[in-house]
Structure 1
Amino acid sequence: MSNPRYPELKPLSFKALGALIDYPQAETVEALDAIEAVLANDEILPRGVRFDLAALIETLRRGDLIDLQEEWLALFDRSRALSLHLYQHVHGESRDRGQAMVSLGQLYAAHGLELTASELPDYLPVLCEFLACVPAEVSLPILADAAHILEAVRTRLERKESPYAAVFAGLRALAPAEVDPAKLAGVIEADRIEDAKDLSALDEEWEEKPVTFGPGDAACPKLRHPPVRPAAA
């Protein structure tokens, strides 16, 4: 399959974007100069997107690592609407998500790549690393299929004025597809329903468990990822 629209696609840009959106760690901060160089020289990315990515990199470069990690958790680990597990936006916790992840894992394996035991195939940084390791005829259709999810999360992050929105804008710029309004609306509605369920479950938990205070209270062949990472959703 030819790729006339993006003849200069740079696979390393996928890897760089995946590193930026992943849970911040010391190794990521140390690699920021290299990440910045890759993205600054990718002319497929619009100038404004490259500017915003540079701003995110500077935020990560100047920030305290503990603060950066807490901010990341507050964004991506506590709301389904911003989840980095892509299939969660369209399948929630249904069996369909499990089957979709099995199929994606099989695609990874077919290209000689395997996940670590603790990671899920629909986790965006993992997907980005995979996209960096395969030819355009494999990577671009996958990215295009996820365009509506990427757009939904990008919009939410922009509303929160989060610099991480630049990563999703970058991935959208590389995706060779327009966003299907119906699919986008479906993602937004599915996330709204799942977040409502989460809030309802939290309310029930508070109702069932009284809170007390006192002395009795308890105070590319293999994808490589840092061993310490928040539990997958």
Structure 2
Amino acid sequence: MNEGDLRSAHMVASVLLGYPDERLHDGLDVLAEAVAGLPAGEARERLSAFLSHVAGTPPPELAAHYVAVFDLKRRCCPYLTYYAYGDTRKRGAALLRFKHALATAGFEPSDGELPDHLAVVCELSARGAVGPARRLMLESRPGIEVLRAALEEERSPYADVVAAVLATLRPSSARERQAALRLAAQGPPAEAVGLEPYTFTEAGR
């Protein structure tokens, strides 16, 4: 994909990975047009599949599913630093790196979302900071792979969106695959201190 295609794919993914409110349902035609303009490949196929799911699912049902997987299941956590650092002191420093990348691009999430939410990182790319956003995604790739696998185990259509994001990156290395397997087997570190000024809750968005 060229840079324009990456921005378009990440723009769509950003909207789809956010809470499914009126912005999603009112913008389905625009999102479908953007996806249709992407080059053939896994990213376009996966995003198209999810848009078809949205079009055929009642909004309350889609919203309930979103909460069930992203808000109530830690293994489907959309916050990328959680996979590597859990609720430990080190996660605070990692969050600051994401916040710095957003600030450098002049971007601040409008709803107060944490800077490491996958939807926020995708939006960072869509706004033009493709390089910094992709670096953050690549550094977090094992966690994104674990998220995709967890969503697949839950039989969640959101697995298509996460898989589409992964398809915009280079192929994973053996080291990244091993790290993802280790994360899936062991889970993130545990230490419920040191996250100020950030907080993370199961039910929060």
Name 1:95's counterpart in structure 2: 89
Checking the alignment, whether the CA contact within 8 Å between 1:21 and 1:125 is kept in structure 2 is yes
Identity %: 23
The superposition leaves residues 61-80 of structure 1 with CA deviations (integer Å, 9 ceiling, x where unpaired) of 22221111111111111111
Answer yes or no: is 1:14 the counterpart of 2:30.
Answer: no
User: Mean Cα displacement is larger for which, 115-124 or 95-104?
Assistant: 115-124
* Structure 1 CA distance for aligned equivalents of residues 32 and 49 of structure 2: 10
Residue 122 of structure 2 contacts residue 133 of structure 2 at CA under 8 Å; is this kept in 1? no
Unaligned runs of 5+ in 2: 192-202
Q: What is the number of equivalent residue pairs in this alignment?
A: 191
2:115 corresponds to 1:121: yes
Work out which of the residue numbers 58, 81, 85 in structure 2 matches 1:64. 58
Amino acid in the other structure paired with 1:64: P
In the alignment, residue 144 of structure 1 is paired with which amino acid?
Answer: L
Distance 1:52 1:174, change over 3 A: closer
Contact conserved, 2:8 with 2:34, CA < 8 A, in 1?
Answer: yes
Confirm or deny that 1:75 pairs with 2:94.
no
Who is 1:134 aligned against?
128
TM-score by length of 2: 0.82
1:8 Cα shift? 5.1
Secondary structure of 1:119's match? coil
Q: Is the 8 A contact 2:46 2:164 kept in 1?
A: no
User: What does residue range 50-199 of structure 1 map to in structure 2 within 5 Å?
Assistant: 50-116=44-110, 118-179=112-173, 180-191=176-187
Contact (CA 8 Å) 1:80, 1:191: kept in 2 or not?
no
Moved beyond 4 Å, runs of 4+: none
SS of structure 1 residue aligned to 2:80: coil
Task: Report the CA distance between 1:192 and its aligned residue.
Answer: 7.1
CA 1:55 to 1:150, structure 2 compared with 1: closer, same or farther past 3 Å?
same
Matched with 1:32 is 28
TM-score when scaled to structure 1? 0.73
* Structure 2 CA distance for partners of 1:103 and 1:154, relative to 1, 3 Å: same
Alignment match, 1:231 = 204
Give the Cα separation in 1 of the matches to 2:119 and 2:3.
22
Amino acid at match of 1:86: L
Structure 1 position 57, deviation (Å):
1.0
Counterpart-to-counterpart distance in 1, 2:22 and 2:111: 22
Which of the two has greater helix per residue? 2
Contact 1:18 1:129 in 2 (8 A): yes
- Report the alpha carbon displacement of residue 193 of structure 1 after superposing the two structures with TM: 7.1
Identify if the C-alpha distance between structure 1 residues 58 and 114 changes in structure 2 by more than 3 Å, giving closer, same or farther: same
Aligned-residue CA RMSD (Å): 2.3
Higher relative contact order, chain-length normalized (CA < 8 Å, sep 6+): 2
Which blocks of at least 5 consecutive residues in structure 1 are unaligned? 1-5, 198-229
Residue 124 of structure 1: CA displacement?
1.3
